[in-house]
Structure 1
């Protein structure tokens, strides 16, 4: 707030901010100045709305506009929910006279935007201006690397590519690490290699955090290794790379963090490193007690779903940028292939899909049958061993080496089958049991896919085997099965409006009614019955009974 107000004042706009960092005399003086109309803009944190004196002041003056920045924080189902944002809607209602409301965010999916409308008491027809998600100057990459040594090598390689050598004055990089321990270890390692580098996390003293942030903004540091506590207010233009040591919790969190690179419009790189261990680890983290209380199961499942969407993105065979734009509902800016993410570069030689729909379905059903064999008994690695027909004592003890499933995917290498099962997890067909020793579990949806009761819409991993490659001279865009044509996109918007109205009537978050992915699949499938509706992701018998007829009515009315 301090920086924004300083910029406005330098431009001749009378503005101020109220914050707990001000002493009581200064705070009272600014309140008096607000009362006499000395300012055009006043910046406050949402916590300020709990102060009776501030709310009393605003009840006596004209407030023609309330602007809510970082509006995604209003959504309980978003990636960065903050309880203090929940009171903004009631505060706006309490203001006298007519008040215009502007809500801004850089990372809101359609479902989060709908919840923002609901919490601010705005109607479904409220104009939503969606643009600016596309960042085509970012070169996005996702690589699988399980061992710490491999992750360090990936970090070093990208730093060399983007910044050259330490001290070359070629810009800066941010490395996001999942824990404070890794943050400090990696910062020490990079410093030893010669980089001007420091660590940043919430466990450091406030003065040290401020020193690191100011040094980075001023250009005195080349690299900061940080947890996600680092970033708010960072606006350094020459950040050439943002590296994620491990995956964050969602596509929203990822895109917000990687978006700190390349703000000068010049090419910049985003690298996300992930591995098979990230899936059960994330699940355990979501299930940990918070202040001695077990987390809300619905919130756990939703956040798990958000994480799986990120893994689907990492594992997918479609342009990185286009997949993100579709996720945020920004169809207008689709690039039809950015040409410089790792997927587009891999497709640059004209490689077509290696598998047709029939082959994909058969391979997926075989893979799921392997999980069904070890259901609630072993972890995912055992399923891989079973499918490739590996010599494994666990399988032998359980007699699984004598089943018809043993070696059913033996024509593929073990690492490929492991990737395939990761994609099955991301698709929601395979799940993990809770606890420190997560077991692989076939979900109800996965069982339906295995039995051919539901389609296996998935992009299989590339085999990189020359004999399986099909080539053509003309590049063909890859797909993740979620593209909407103009008619389907229009139906999706009608379904969104219906979801918002239902959520208001039932006083539940829009996600409880249906996710964006569900509505997209309904728009593609155009079901005519409750049975057909249940072919869409996330629609089981209970949800079909509760919300199905309403969704079908929208489809029928749309024609």
Structure 2
């Protein structure tokens, strides 16, 4: 027996009303009356028969439906859990890592209409277009769809013509929408960008808080939540608020390791300096503007700066456009489409750009201003190098960014006072990003630890700026000695004596001993701390002050002109009542580059031979060559550059140590859990061949 019901248009509560057809008042369309089938039409095609296929059937269906030869191991793990296991899964993988397949494939083999909750219209459009091109019927319901088209889609939806329907979370608040969706009896509900449900994440959206209640109303047999950015604490909150039992929900955490990305971070103040670094990075990555080898994205902090930077890039000869929320929607769509179709080489954008962009040949992502968190940064920089070939990520930041971010956090973008808990949350997220900038060990491993992806630790990527510096210096992570602790305490004393009278640059000048009119006017030349660290450059002292902010020893006022002052912890450290836990900045300064060029991995993807190779004994050299041959085989099998497997430095150490077990292999710097699991046995076998 079927029940008739009035299909209320699934409209956003805040949608602008669509223009009324002729002869009809706007907002007073008569309801469309449909008969809701007792069982969705697609369910007649045997809802679970296909789902019961074993792994070989999954690969066959994947090839037939998506044209892919096989799942990635973690994708297979997630799909198997959804189709054959508990039906509950939380998938964490970086942007571009293939999370969408974890719900698109099950939806394509299950009967009925699966529901995907996604906050990004551009991503909905892209995925629906791609699915329909593959012959998998899908649609989306969003405020950008006009009223007539929306009603047509709803008719087809309730007639059972779609395998997937995408819907934005805010639409779930419209009267009657959840009740109507429940009539679909969805076999699967997927929640994309699931980190938005966490009030302690970097991208909290209140509309996500109702999804747990929606899931209870829909009661789907399968639920999958996907996100590219979630720390362990955020993951726990996702499971709790979605009502997914911790012990019964499979958590699949893979794919955060991106060793083909060359990550670097530079602390520099001044607009011209940053733009010099930016242009060098673009030139190095793309080559000649006449024949660029791929594309680049530049993230700027404001709408105005996107326009200015785009002008600079255009003057260099690249095809470039700006993208920000101030542009008309049609213009933003034009830019996105032109970039996707390779009609643009560079897009300079605010963080509004990137979702739904699936261009594999992005060779470079530059941030000329830091985002608000590591999650946001890794999501954005992760758009580079999705083809597995070498790509570069450069993050530029300076002391001015700290004060600006503090002011934005304190007052919000609309100038309103922010809730103290929300303020502290955002400030702590930004501090974590500063810790990444100031990292004393491999940047890739820093990010993997941040996300809790311990299984993919590389033990040092060998090619981020920190790994390269440590290799040059011939040391591991820097330690804090008494001399370094004394420098920190002197700097803290300078901050205390300044008494919130000046910004970080003026405090750095005071510590350096700059005797100018400004210092005299502030009274700094009379302080006991004037020139107390004159042996260090002004730039180095600014970096030190930044690190003390990151460590929570120094706070920043939220005034128009931010000024540093000691925190309670900083006061204790200054008095030696608490130990110093601040790594000093590297000795070298980061001056703006002149001209083009730079040290980087060769374009053919081969690892650079280190100077250590030249001094090897004949026996060690022979072992090194065998290891290098194995590495080349692995690189060819995986279609990646050789350095992604590991660098020459790692092979040299293996050849010198000659480990005989996996445990001994783990002592080699650069052989983390992920590399050992993937290549350890083959490297050991190569050593055995030499006797």
1:116-515 equivalence runs, <5 A? 116-125=238-247, 126-289=249-412, 291=414, 293-352=416-475, 356-393=480-517, 396=520, 401-464=525-588
Superposed displacement of residue 211, structure 1: 0.9
Over 3 Å counting, the alpha-carbon distance change for 1:67 and 1:355 in structure 2 is closer
Q: Any residues of structure 2 matched to 1:524-539 within 5 Å, and which? A: none
Listed as ranges, the gaps of 5+ residues in structure 2 are 1-123, 590-610, 614-648, 651-691
CA–CA separation in structure 1 for the residues paired with 2:495 and 2:279: 37
State how far apart, in whole Å, the 2-side matches of 1:174 and 1:201 are. Answer: 13
Contact 2:480 2:581 in 1 (8 A): no
For 1:3, the equivalent position in structure 2 comes to: 126
Equivalent pairs, count: 469
User: What's the counterpart of residue 109 of structure 1?
Assistant: 231
Between the aligned partners of 1:384 and 1:191, the Cα distance in structure 2 is 36
State the distance in 2 between where 1:20 and 1:416 align. Answer: 51
Secondary structure of 1:225's match? strand
Alpha-carbon RMSD across the aligned residues, in angstroms, is 2.5
Pair 1:290–1:380, CA change in 2 (3 A): closer
Counterpart-to-counterpart distance in 2, 1:176 and 1:292: 23
Per the alignment, do residues 402 and 19 of structure 1 end up closer, same or farther by CA in structure 2, a change over 3 Å counting?
closer
Aligned CA distance change for structure 1 residues 398 and 34 (closer, same or farther; 3 Å):
closer
CA drift at 1:243 = 0.8
Structure 1 segment 80-119 matched on structure 2, within 5 A:
80-95=203-218, 97=219, 99-119=221-241
Aligned 8 A contact 1:237 1:262 in 2? yes
Q: Distance in 1 between matches of 2:346 and 2:326?
A: 19
Q: How far, CA to CA, are the matches of 1:458 and 1:119 in structure 2? A: 37
- Alpha-carbon spacing, 1:259–1:417, altered in 2? closer, same or farther (3 Å): same
Q: 2:253 is paired with a residue of what secondary structure?
A: coil
Matched residue, 2:161 = 38
* Alignment check: 8 A CA contact 1:374 1:382 kept: no
Change (3 A) 1:411 1:101: same
CA contact (8 A) 2:440 2:478 kept: no
Q: 1:375, 1:439 within 8 Å by CA — same for their partners in 2?
A: no
String of CA shifts for 1:226-249, please: whole Å, max 9, x gaps: 111111101111001011111111
Counterpart-to-counterpart distance in 2, 1:265 and 1:375: 51
Deviation at 1:72, TM superposition (A): 1.3
Name the SS for the 1:336 alignment partner: coil
Residue 175 of structure 2: aligned partner: 52
d(CA) in 2 for partners of 1:63, 1:305: 39
Structure 1 unmatched ranges of 5 or more: 466-471, 477-559
Q: TM-score, normalised by structure 2?
A: 0.64
Quote the Cα distance in structure 2 between the aligned partners of 1:149 and 1:358.
Answer: 37
Shift of 1:7: 2.3
For the pair 1:63 / 2:217, whether they are aligned, the reply is no
* Conservation of the 8 A alpha-carbon contact between 1:354 and 1:462: no
Partner SS state of residue 395, structure 2: strand
By how many angstroms is 1:215 displaced?
Answer: 0.6
CA contact (8 A) 1:350 1:473 kept: no
Q: Deviations over 1:457-478 (max 9, x none)?
A: 222112249xxxxxx98989xx
Q: Secondary structure at the match of 1:89?
A: helix
SS of 1:16's partner is strand
Distance 2:156 2:485 in 1: 68
- More deviation, 301-310/9-18: 9-18
Q: Report the CA distance between 1:395 and its aligned residue.
A: 5.5
Distance (Å, rounded) in 2 between the aligned partners of 1:250 and 1:276: 16
| Conserved 8 A contact 2:185-2:220 | no
Contact 2:372–2:429 at 8 Å: present in 1 too?
Answer: yes
Say whether the 8 Å CA contact 1:35–1:57 is kept in structure 2: no
**Structure 1 residue 268: Cα displacement:** 0.4
Distance 2:143 2:502 in 1: 53
Alpha-carbon distance in structure 2 between the residues aligned to 1:27 and 1:464? 60
How far apart, CA to CA, are the structure 1 residues paired with 2:177 and 2:528?
72
1:139 match: secondary structure:
strand
- Residue 330 of structure 1 and its aligned partner are, at CA, apart by 1.2
Deviation at 1:31, TM superposition (A): 2.9
